[in-house]
Amino acid sequence: MQAEFAFSKFAGRLANLVDLSSNDLDLLAGLPSSIDCYASRDHVLRHGETSTHCHLLLQGYLCWLDPEIHDGKIISIHVPGDVPDLHMIHDARLDYNLVSVGPAVIASVPHEVFRDLCGLSSSLTRAFMLLILGDAAGSRNWIVNLSSRNPLERVAHLICEIATRLRAVGLAKDFRMPSPFTESDLASACSLSAMHANRTIQELCRSNLLQWHSRTITITDWNGLVRLAGFNPAYLRLPEHVNAEPS
């Protein structure tokens, strides 16, 4: 895998948060890492383990699972360009399981490399902190989604969020994206039964808001899906253009 690919989505993610200099980009391009492929539902990190590396997602999806619940409860979803365990450069305690949702390609970067970058660039220091704060904001929104929205709104909101985050790193430009979910995954993420998750998907399709074929989701009415979900992307702290209706 080309080194450029290994950091480009991550660099794009950071550039959405702060202005990066050419020196910052050179530092990111030189990130030392080992790249590994994971099958669906492989554990990247387990609760109680000690990790010395952060995991930069290059392809696929990752999720945090609550280990206290049988078969795990999805409590966040991560897309390419994310480093879901970046907070561990400050606190190495691992409270949940980090698991692949479908096949995934991941670059492992030592914690000390991120710490060294913070010493070399104030822009990267700020960007890393904003990433961590963004994950915290996403967790708060996740709670709101499960506690305040009905099942149809929950699923619609989750799809809106994933599409927006993918577009922010140059993916899903046509609002077509590989589905990270089996029905069981969607049920776990939205606190539904598998049967209810299936009925919800069918209702969204009947309403001509999206198409869900095999492992591909195509949003056919972005504005309608946004209205149904009550989706306001401000908490994601992303450029406005990634949330625009395609021409």
What averages of pLDDT result for each successive group of 10 residues across the chain (247 residues)? 62 89 91 91 91 93 86 87 94 90 93 95 96 92 91 95 90 88 86 91 96 91 96 84 53
Shared domain for 191 and 132, answered yes or no, is no
- How much is the pTM? 0.90
Q: Are 48 and 117 contained in the same domain?
A: yes
Same domain membership, residue 78 and residue 167: no
Q: CA–CA distance from 84 to each of 117, 152, 245 (Å)?
A: 18, 27, 28
pLDDT on residue 5: 53
Q: Give me the pLDDT at residue 44, please.
A: 96
Q: To which H or E segment does residue 233 belong?
A: none
Which pLDDT does position 1 carry in this prediction?
41
Same domain, 56 and 134: yes
Sheet holding 216-219, edge to edge: 176-178, 216-219, 210-213
Which residues partner with 76 through β-bridges? 64
Query: What gap in Å lies between CA 217 and CA 212, rounded to an integer?
Result: 5
Q: How many domains does the chain have?
A: 2
Helices (H), 75-221: 111-120, 122-148, 151-168, 183-190, 194-206
Contact 244, 173 (CB under 8 A): no
Task: Give me the residue label for tokens 């709670």.
Answer: 143
- Verify that 60 and 169 share a domain, yes or no: no
The per-residue pLDDT for 24 is 94
- Where residue 90 falls (left for φ over 0; alpha for ψ -120 to 50; beta otherwise) is alpha
The 10 Å CB-count burial string (b at 16+, else e) for 73-108 is bbbbbbbbbbbbbbbbbeeeebebbbbbbbebbbbb
Range of the domain at 9: 3-143
133 and 156 in a common domain = no
Are residues 131 and 164 both part of a single domain? no
Residue 97 tokens read as: 């399981």
Note whether 18 and 128 are same-domain residues.
Answer: yes
Do 232 and 210 reside in the same domain of the chain? yes
Rounded to 10 degrees, the C-alpha dihedral 173/36/65/101 comes to 40
Is residue 43 within 8 A of residue 97, CB to CB? The reply is yes
Give pLDDT, residue 57.
94
Output the six-digit token pair for 227.
Answer: 């209205």
pLDDT given at position 76: 93
What per-residue confidence (pLDDT) applies to 247? 46
| 136 & 227 share domain | no
